[in-house]
Structure 1
Amino acid sequence: MTISEAKLVCRNVWKLFGADSEGFLAAHGGTPNAEELSAAKLVGAVRQVDLDVREGEIFVIMGLSGSGKSTLVRLMSRLIEPTAGDILFKGENLLTASDSRMIEIRRHQMGMVFQHFALLPHLTVLDNVAFPLDIQGMNRAQREERAREMIELVGLGGKETAFPRQLSGGQQQRVGIARSLAVEPEIWFLDEPFSALDPLIRREMQDEFMRLQTVLHKTIVFITHDFDEAIRLADRIAIMKDGEIVQAGTPEDIVLTPATPYVAEFTRNVARAKVIRTQSLMSGLDGQSAQAEDGQPTVSANTRIADAAPMFLDGITRLGVVDDDNRIIGNLNRDAVVDMMLKG
């Protein structure tokens, strides 16, 4: 992939905390190891990160607490300054952008949602969602119209006059999501947005998030420490450890072909049916495709096996696998699904 094909690009990005970190990095040729960092009493929060976030994808960055994932997402938006490297957004190097230019980019092209909802308690739902548009200088009628659209989009129609204290945790998070979407961002950063929610509400918010993505097709960087959440939401995943990305790829790549013992251990208990998609298990049509017929049972090529399996409960033994144009590109056989699930 070339830089021009990616929405956001990180190249050799470092963030070191400690005295004279830039000088230390230069003195070690830009590639110090963990032992050298420790000896110099420096913390390598982000180390030598290279990644590309593609247009319209959900790119999940995950790792255990302290792995550097939240620091990395703040570097991407230059909320904190990197020690070294390049960060390009739509081809523009953010590290050479002026402060005023960065404010403009954040206000008009970036949306951010964090674990803590950070709603303004003295403002209603409508005013909270409209707040970033007020900062942009949009007139009241326009910003309230836009805010009402976003409130409806996240399923909170009728709550416009409520205050944050009158909402549940899940509802407050929806307000935060609506507020971040109000500016119509080109890239959307979400840092563990659901981790403070109860498990049932968290699942509902994941469903809501996926519904929104099918409507909006945003370019998304999503931070989580929950692997089940990652494989449910992600188009691609990057796993971090001690500030480094140890593997990046599709959920299937990471679960089926772990690059390191750490990744293998990280994914050891993940059920394959949760990550393998129907297109990976289907039998082919000898290079041919056909339009799906009315009434013919079909499943999307991107559906995970765990979600497709219940379709076989009614005695169906074969499903047509269809692409985005509803053309059958293969068949998913019941025996293949049962065999895979019995093997773990």
Structure 2
Amino acid sequence: MASHGIEIRGLYKIFGSRGASYIDAVKAGMSKAELNETHGHVLGLKDINISMPGGAITVVMGLSGSGKSTLIRHINRLIEPTAGEVVYDGADICRMNQSQLREFRRHKTAMVFQKFALLPHRTVLENTVYGLDIQGVARADSLKTGRHWIDRVGLSGFENHYPNQLSGGMQQRVGLARALATDADILLMDEAYSALDPLIRVDMQAVLLDLQAELKKTVVFITHDLDEALRLGDRIAILRDGQVVQQGSGQEIVLKPADAYIASFVREVNRGRIIQARTVMTPLESVEGPAPGFTVDAAMTLETAARQMTLANVTAAIVVDEAGQPLGRLDFATLISAMVTPTAC
């Protein structure tokens, strides 16, 4: 069954004892600084509107204090909103009663934390089935499911180890197995890989992408790292001071940064590893002259396309879709030009 998307509409969070009483003032233009210094309240989120497609990975990115972790905790309502909606499968999570919310958390969402959050007195297997125990699943069934997901995340043979016997990367694999074991539609990952060493982090990114290619969960992934966001995100939303500065695909953000703040993020990005052939090709209806005989896939990155064209000793190629149908033409000069970061935006 296809996963449902998440619609966040007009979401505000003002921290403080009388947050709701300042909503109108914030909507009218009261600044975060004035709200804090004059009224002793903190603006966490301001008018957040994000569509998170079902079966895709939406990355919410920002620096410390941008509001990204506050935002993800509204999806399972670990934080109560001041105003706005978080809609999933036709239901507004913000208006669920306690019974509805409990069922939603148990069966529709699972969370993977930065600090692993494993129970130290439980083995790998016991940690993995913890969510199933909460759901009341029969023990034989939960153990079978737990062993399946332990194997899927590459920890077969470690079922009886305890968390303190595992490396950080292995502990995070347990956290991922625990989240997947409940078969929740929504996977919430809050800085899940930030505590890992760089090489292990890349390995865990690959694990997530491999699993997602099969499972098609609705994943919300929080990070402060642009390279991670670009590698994982089908969609990316960048926050600053509790507001969405820009959202779109990784290619859209790299090619058309909304302002100087975003431009500063993307300036050092290796564009050749992000931008796809379809993005810079010339549509067929605009092409004159004979068509090249060499083809490249539309979803191929420019770096890969350049390598293949160089090996084939060609200066132009036809860009084709997944079915092999021609979409456009890609010249080598255009390809190389698109890989170069502009000196100014």
**Normalised TM-score (structure 1):** 0.88
Match of 1:34 in 2: 32
Aligned mates of 2:26, 2:120 — CA distance in 1: 49
Aligned mates of 1:168, 1:202 — CA distance in 2: 12
Instruction: Say which SS state the counterpart of residue 314 (structure 1) adopts.
Output: helix
On the 8 A contact 2:61/2:236 being kept in 1, the answer is: yes
**In 2 relative to 1, CA 164–312 (structure 1 residues): closer, same or farther, beyond 3 Å?**
farther
Offset of 1:13 from its aligned partner?
Answer: 0.8
Offset of 1:147 from its aligned partner?
Answer: 1.2
Instruction: Say which SS state the counterpart of residue 181 (structure 1) adopts.
Output: helix
On the 8 A contact 1:125/1:163 being kept in 2, the answer is: yes
On the 8 A contact 2:58/2:220 being kept in 1, the answer is: yes
**In 2 relative to 1, CA 28–179 (structure 1 residues): closer, same or farther, beyond 3 Å?**
closer
Match of 2:271 in 1: 272
Aligned Cα RMSD in Å? 2.4
Which amino acid in 2 is paired with 1:305?
A: L
**In 2 relative to 1, CA 42–252 (structure 1 residues): closer, same or farther, beyond 3 Å?**
same
Match of 2:302 in 1: 305
Aligned mates of 1:195, 1:277 — CA distance in 2: 27
Per-residue CA distance 1:283-327 (angstroms, 9 max, x = gap): 44449xxxxxxxx98654333323444334533535654434454
Match of 1:9 in 2: 7
For 1:217-296, list aligned pairs within 5 A.
Answer: 217-286=216-285
**In 2 relative to 1, CA 7–335 (structure 1 residues): closer, same or farther, beyond 3 Å?**
same
On the 8 A contact 1:25/1:31 being kept in 2, the answer is: no
Offset of 1:272 from its aligned partner?
Answer: 2.2
Which amino acid in 2 is paired with 1:337?
A: L
Aligned mates of 1:86, 1:158 — CA distance in 2: 44
Aligned mates of 1:36, 1:343 — CA distance in 2: 38
Aligned mates of 1:328, 1:172 — CA distance in 2: 46
Aligned mates of 2:51, 2:146 — CA distance in 1: 31
How many equivalent residue pairs? 333
Query: Unaligned 5+ residue runs, structure 2?
Result: 287-292
Residue 134 (structure 1) aligned with residue 133 (structure 2): yes
Per-residue CA distance 1:149-179 (angstroms, 9 max, x = gap): 2112212222222222222211111110111
Q: Which moved more, 1:328-337 or 1:152-161?
A: 328-337
Aligned mates of 2:295, 2:137 — CA distance in 1: 46
On the 8 A contact 2:277/2:299 being kept in 1, the answer is: yes
Match of 2:110 in 1: 111
**In 2 relative to 1, CA 75–312 (structure 1 residues): closer, same or farther, beyond 3 Å?**
same
Aligned mates of 2:249, 2:323 — CA distance in 1: 22
Query: Unaligned 5+ residue runs, structure 1?
Result: 288-295
For 1:1-344, list aligned pairs within 5 A.
Answer: 7-26=5-24, 32-38=30-36, 39-286=38-285, 299-317=296-314, 321-342=319-340
Offset of 1:29 from its aligned partner?
Answer: 5.5
Per-residue CA distance 1:72-118 (angstroms, 9 max, x = gap): 00012101101111111111011211112111111111121110101
Offset of 1:48 from its aligned partner?
Answer: 1.2
**In 2 relative to 1, CA 65–159 (structure 1 residues): closer, same or farther, beyond 3 Å?**
same
